[in-house]
């Protein structure tokens, strides 16, 4: 089984939102095989609690604007690991220390990645 088109589309919307708020090390994993109720996990790193909260808020807002309903949100108050459950997509926004400590990439290493289409980072000093 592979992630549904809707799950991949949701991951793309969430990834662009996270990237726009400074999210780093974005990784989307197709977890549809081991988890039949979820298609994609999106892992994102923020550099501080404020950054983690801002990323989570933007991801949630953009998915809501696109018509997707949140099922559950956890960890927003502490902003060390915010989990946003949108059914087909679960977004994990980590503070960098929690990302290393919990190592979800290691736990789900057998799952294929989902390609993300993100804008290329701007290069300083380039002429227009």
pTM value is 0.90
Q: Which residues sit opposite 73 in a β-bridge? A: 84
Per residue in 68-120, pLDDT (tens digit) is 999 999 999 999 999 999 999 999 999 999 999 999 999 999 999 999 988 87
Helix (H, G, I), strand (E, B) or coil at 50: helix
Which residue ranges make up each domain of the chain? 5-107
Q: Which CATH class is domain 5-107?
A: alpha beta
- Going by DSSP bridges, is the β-strand pair 89-95/40-46 parallel, antiparallel, or unpaired? parallel
Q: How many helices (H) and strands (E) does the chain have?
A: 4, 5
Per residue in 29-66, pLDDT (tens digit) is 999 999 888 999 999 999 999 999 999 999 999 999 99
How many angstroms separate the CA atoms of 55 and 45, rounded? Answer: 9
């Amino acid at each position: 089984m592979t992630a549904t088109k809707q799950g991949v589309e949701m991951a793309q919307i969430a990834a662009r939102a996270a990237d726009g708020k400074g999210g780093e090390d974005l990784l989307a994993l197709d977890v549809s095989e081991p988890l039949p109720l979820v298609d994609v996990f999106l892992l994102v790193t923020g550099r501080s609690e404020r950054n983690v909260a801002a990323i989570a808020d933007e991801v949630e807002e953009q998915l809501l604007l696109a018509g997707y309903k949140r099922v559950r949100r956890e960890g927003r108050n502490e902003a060390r690991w915010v989990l946003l459950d949108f059914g087909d997509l679960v977004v994990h926004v980590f503070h960098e220390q929690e990302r290393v400590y919990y190592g979800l990439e290691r736990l789900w290493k057998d799952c294929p990645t989902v390609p993300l289409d993100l804008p290329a980072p701007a290069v300083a000093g380039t002429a227009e």
